[in-house]
Chains A and B, each alone.
Chain A
């Protein structure tokens, strides 16, 4: 009996390890597990206070409705990719406020003229200091702020087309 139990130990360990490895691979392929991901610390927390040329935290709260806030930059290639999705969101009536990250004003303006301007309001974080308070690690990065100024959702990288439907529903547009 004891011997049989001892034999079960390595088999059990292999089964457990294999199961864990399978779960990890599945998560990697469907995107639910990202070992390089930096989870946002802001989810379900009030938006940190900020004042930028363009708009402030008070403006976001004063909107009295959910707002999508998108960090972008003219030097960011995936942002070009994302431009069409953001324009589609705008067409659905979703309020998108943009924050230009570590950019130069004239270059931001050229970018928006070339790829379309989906933003209802535009702020400029040319120093990138406010982005650090939000925990932004790169552009594009998108946040959903509810009517009370609480951060509800964050997405790193260009928004997929599927986000248009989901965000429109969430925002009630």
Chain B
């Protein structure tokens, strides 16, 4: 019982979980640290490529985290820091690809999908239109058939 309470207290008073492995990496100013995390989470780790540098345990990611924090502490904007990274590693370093002719199809795909959907829906609706009313000839024939 006491052990459980101690454990609970330890949990309650433990430091918040950092995205980075080593709390010593964090900037002393929480607002600056939050900005660094936000910027780093948009930058791709070049080693384990589907992780951001904030999430990755790779050595290079740790170095890049450090650099992001140095630039944030120097008062640089997110755009400036992203430009610094892109100058070295290209657009690939950005987890959110920029809009250019290479990525146009990627960014346009929701609109294209919507267009295809609308075209399909209208096509199907047209097919579902009620048939033309019966001609007088047909109505007479139907009436005769119904009588029998």
Q: What B residues does A148 contact at CB under 8 A?
A: none
The A114-170 residues at the B interface (CB cut-off 8 A) are 128-129, 132-135, 137-138
Kindly report which residue of chain A lies nearest to residue B44, judged by CB atoms: A38
**Which of B8-16, B31-39, B58-66 sits within the interface?**
B58-66
Contact indicator B88/A129 (Cβ below 8 Å): no
Whole-angstrom distance between the Cβ of A88 and the nearest chain B Cβ: 29
B37-70 vs A: 1/0 string, CB under 8 Å? 0000000001101000000000110011001000
Whole-angstrom distance between the Cβ of B59 and the nearest chain A Cβ: 7
A23-39 vs B: 1/0 string, CB under 8 Å? 00000000000001011
Contact indicator A38/B64 (Cβ below 8 Å): no
A2-35 vs B: 1/0 string, CB under 8 Å? 0000000000000000000000000000000000
Whole-angstrom distance between the Cβ of B49 and the nearest chain A Cβ: 6
Q: Known contacts A38-B90, A38-B92, A41-B89: does B46 contact A129 (CB below 8 Å)?
A: no
Contact indicator B47/A38 (Cβ below 8 Å): no
Kindly report which residue of chain B lies nearest to residue A128, judged by CB atoms: B63
Give Cα A137–Cα B49 distance, bound, in whole angstroms. 11
Give Cα A102–Cα B59 distance, bound, in whole angstroms. 10
Give Cα A132–Cα B87 distance, bound, in whole angstroms. 10
Q: Known contacts A36-B49, A38-B46: does B59 contact A137 (CB below 8 Å)?
A: no
State which size class the interface on A falls in. Answer: 10 to 19
The B50-105 residues at the A interface (CB cut-off 8 A) are 59-60, 63-64, 67, 86-90, 92-93
Contact indicator B63/A137 (Cβ below 8 Å): no
Give Cα A137–Cα B88 distance, bound, in whole angstroms. 10
Contact indicator B63/A39 (Cβ below 8 Å): no
Kindly report which residue of chain A lies nearest to residue B86, judged by CB atoms: A41
Give Cα A15–Cα B59 distance, bound, in whole angstroms. 44
Contact indicator A41/B47 (Cβ below 8 Å): no
The A61-105 residues at the B interface (CB cut-off 8 A) are 102
Of the candidates B46, B63, B88, the one whose C-beta lies within 8 Å of that of A41 is B88
Contact indicator A129/B63 (Cβ below 8 Å): yes
Q: Known contacts A137-B46, A137-B47, A138-B47: does B89 contact A38 (CB below 8 Å)?
A: yes
Whole-angstrom distance between the Cβ of A57 and the nearest chain B Cβ: 16
Give Cα A143–Cα B60 distance, bound, in whole angstroms. 19
Of the candidates B47, B49, B88, B92, the one whose C-beta lies within 8 Å of that of A132 is B88
- Chain B positions near chain A (C-beta within 8 angstroms): 46-47, 49, 59-60, 63-64, 67, 86-90, 92-93
7 tightest A-B CB contacts, nearest first: A137-B46, A135-B88, A41-B90, A38-B92, A135-B89, A38-B46, A39-B90
- Chain A positions near chain B (C-beta within 8 angstroms): 36, 38-39, 41, 102, 128-129, 132-135, 137-138
* Subset of 25 A-B contacts with CB under 8 Å: A36-B49, A38-B46, A38-B90, A38-B92, A39-B90, A39-B92, A41-B86, A41-B88, A41-B89, A41-B90, A128-B60, A128-B63, A129-B63, A132-B60, A132-B64, A132-B67, A132-B88, A134-B88, A135-B88, A135-B89, A135-B90, A137-B46, A137-B89, A138-B47, A138-B60
